[in-house]
With several copies, the nearest count.
Chain A
Amino acid sequence: MNGGQDLGGMQGFGPIAPEPNEPRFHAPWEKRVFGLAMAMGATGTWNLDASRAARESLPPGEYLTSSYYAIWLKALERQVKAHGLATADELATGTVSAPAAPVKRVLEGTEVAPLFARGFPSDRPVAAPARFAVGERVRALTINPPGHTRLPRYVRGRPGLVEAVHGGFIFPDTNARLAGEAPQWLYTVRFSGRDLWGEAAEPGHTVSVNAFESYLEPIP
């Protein structure tokens, strides 16, 4: 989705604003949203890609004027409602009025430390051999899917060089719509600043992205 989240190369935002001694959270509600998003993710009702998709599907103006955890909150509320886990009325009042829906699992307090220390790897075996090899020239496809994708607009149609082949990984475009992990080979592809931005690009500047195999085509 070419939404408000696809920010690479946009202009007009002004300076970056680092904050000295920045706290981990800027308001009590931020840490609750963070924790709730993690805990609800652990129920297995959706996955990380679906959560990203929910965040980036906020209308672009709202996305760009909402704080980071406000985006998380709005997306989480949408997901909870869309999956029938709570009603709009319940979220508005904080009072439960409908029965709970079943969820696959509930994360227990004692599981947090071991589970999060282990992590949740995204690599998956892929039977077919990798289509591209390190050192090969490829082009990022011109695609504009209305749903979630991890190929940013600024590389589409641009030529680059495969600099790493990482093995099979969950494909976010299908996983985000709960249509399967459909793992694909994942690559690192490096683009020159000139190919991305033109002759006025800063000299000696390259950008590497991680690109799934179906995002790429060979350059003959």
Chain B
Amino acid sequence: MPHDHHDEHHDDHPHPHGSELSPMDLRVRALESVLVEKGYVDPAALDALIETYETKVGPHNGARVVARAWVDPGFRERLLADATPAMREIGVGGRGGEHMVVAANTPDEHNLVVCTLCSCYPWPVLGLPPVWYKSPPYRARAVIEPRAVLAEFGVALPEATRIRVWDSTAELRYMVLPMRPAGTEGLDEAALAALVTRDSMIGTGLPRAPGASS
């Protein structure tokens, strides 16, 4: 068994057998039982899917892409020209990242990614999206008042910096390439990757400064 909370899911006839099971747990358990028993779902596939997205994919993948782009101008160029094959060079890609676009922040322009219509997000690059990214306030406000949204995330940009919002309305998926922080000249790629936060690749944050606690 690859994970912890599992034993409550594998008896055939779900029923209330303890206060730890919420009505939603019971409802989902019923659905799972039926779909598995009818042969539509292989329990091993279910386990593998959950394990993949719970433990394997995550923003560390995107951070590697960013760090590489910071140290390798050729990679950066390929990444901005056609992100999907460039990411594949370092083993990043897959479901939910089949058609990647990378938008580079500059002193003049800051990029911000949203999906107003649902929750599109580059899974293999950033993992599953956080609740706030999928929530009505973010989806509603990012396109109409992005500067106010950024301020709420503690990101204060100069007045002159333009804000470019990307609404993920098709199967393209977006990652922001943040600017490399000052004072990082001596850092190697792994140390740089450690400065790259998830939010800095959505556009709602900036990379950590070197020496700042993570």
Contact = CB atoms under 8 A, between A and B. Distances in A.
Interface residues of B, number: 82
A170 B99 CA distance: 13
Interface string B43-68: 11111111011100000000000000
A117 B136 CA distance: 30
B52 to A, nearest CB: 6
B128 to A, nearest CB: 6
A119 B131 CA distance: 24
Contact of B40 (A27, A85, A112, A172): A85
A39 B33 contact: no
Contacts of B94: 116-119
B41 A122 contact: no
Contact of B162 (A16, A121, A144, A205): A205
A202 B147 contact: yes
Interface of A: 5-11, 13-19, 22, 24-29, 31-36, 38-40, 42-43, 52, 55-56, 60-61, 64, 68, 70, 73, 76-77, 80, 85-86, 90-96, 100-101, 103, 106-113, 115-123, 144, 150-152, 154, 166, 169-170, 172, 186, 188, 190, 196-197, 201-212
Interface of B: 5, 8-9, 13-14, 22, 24-25, 27-35, 37-50, 52-54, 93-99, 116-119, 124, 127-128, 130-132, 134-141, 143-149, 152-153, 159-172
